Amino acid sequence: MTTRTTGPGTGPGARTASASHGPAVRLGIDIGGTKTAVAVLDERNRFLARTTAATPAAEGAAAVVGRVRELAVRALAEPAAAGARLTAIGVGTAGVVAPDGRTIASATEALPGWAGTPLAALLEEALGAPTSLLGDVQAFLAGELAAGAARGARSAVAVMAGTGIGGAIALDGTVVRGSRGAAGHLGHVPVAEAEGHRCPCGAMGHVEAVASGPAMTALLRRDAAHTDVQDLREVGAAAADGNAAARAVLRRGGRALGAALAGVVSTLDPDVVVLAGGVLHAGPWYEEAARAELTARTLPLLRGTRLVRAGLGADAVLLGAASHSGATPYDGFASPTDPISPAVR
Distance CA 316, CA 300 (A): 32
Q: For residues 209 and 230, is the Cβ–Cβ distance under 8 A? A: no
SS (HEC) of the chain = CCCCCCCCCCCCCCCCCCCCCCCEEEEEEEECCCEEEEEEEECCCCEEEEEEEECCHHHCHHHHHHHHHHHHHHHHCCCCCCCCEEEEEEEEECCEECCCCCCEEECCCCCCCCCCCCHHHHHHHHHCCCEEEEEHHHHHHHHHHHHCCCCCCCCEEEEEECCCEEEEEEECCEECCCCCCCCCCHHHCECHHHCCCECCCCCECECHHHHCHHHHHHHHHHHCCCCCCCCHHHHHHHHHCCCHHHHHHHHHHHHHHHHHHHHHHHHHCCCEEEEECHHHHCCHHHHHHHHHHHHHHCCHHHCCCEEEECCCCCHHHHHHHHHCCCCCCCCCCCCCCCCCCCCCC
Paired with 170 in beta bridges are 156, 175
Task: Give Dmax (Cα) for the chain.
Answer: 66
Residues of the chain with confidence (pLDDT) below 70: 1-20, 326-345
- Alpha carbon distance 287, 211 (integer Å): 11
Distance in angstroms (rounded) separating the CA atoms of residues 112 and 74: 25
Predicted pLDDT at 344: 33
Q: What is the pLDDT of residue 10?
A: 40
Q: Strand 24-31 and strand 85-93: pairing?
A: parallel
Rounded to an integer, what distance in angstroms lies between the CA atom of residue 116 and that of residue 195?
32
